[in-house]
Amino acid sequence: MKSLLALIGIAFLVVLSSCYPTDPYYQGTSKYGGDSYLSGFDQTQPGQAPITHNGQNAPRGYWDGDGVTGSPKIRINLDDQRAYYYKGSTLVGVTPISTGTDGHGTPRGRFKVTQKEVDHKSSLYGVIKDVETGQTIISDADTRRHRAKKGQVFVNAPMPHFMRFNGAIGMHAGFLPGYPASHGCVRMPDHMAKVFFHNTPLGTPVIVE
């Protein structure tokens, strides 16, 4: 009986993994490369209290800035893995984020938004896929180190609603696993990236702390 239950458990995990692929460029239903890539972040990190607004848990972030006046400002807290949007002195939005890993950290400092692009793609990072099968050959490809061979294609990483603020680093919609996981950029859930993008003019201060 125990062996039968074990087999059923293994089969369930196989089916589950096929339904929720970990490949960030899985070609699913999402406009930007699959639900896996833009699935957002539906729970807070272990040991952290949920983001709340008006007493309600809002782990996917919230926005209450429509109609609020004041100069915009974005504060990115690396320890909290959250970004805070201000208009004047009023906090109007909070979103979970995923910033750079130890090898590709997101530098602290004071910056300004210098570029905005709705359908931006990375010029450095992506994946290499087999053209015929669609199988991922290299899941963390870098144009400076990797080249697609015959029968392969380099797919540049999608960075929708991109806002550049420090060299190659910017904020954009992306996959949030619940911890720092990017090459330095600040990933946000898709819906929050859109809100931040549409409310942020060029020159908006960005403080990374």
Q: Is the pTM of this model over 0.95?
A: no
So what's the pLDDT on residue 104? Answer: 78
Which of 99, 48, 51, 114 shows the shortest CA–CA distance to 209? 99
Q: What is the widest separation between alpha-carbon atoms in the chain?
A: 66
The set of catalytic residues is 172, 185
So what's the pLDDT on residue 48? Answer: 46
So what's the pLDDT on residue 29? Answer: 34
Contact 74, 68 (CB under 8 A): no
The predicted-structure confidence for 14-30, as pLDDT tens digits, reads as follows 333 333 334 344 333 33
So what's the pLDDT on residue 95? Answer: 95
d(CA 147, CA 184): 22
Domains assigned to the chain: 41-208 (2.40.440.10)
Q: Which residues of the chain have pLDDT under 50?
A: 2, 4-50, 53, 57-59
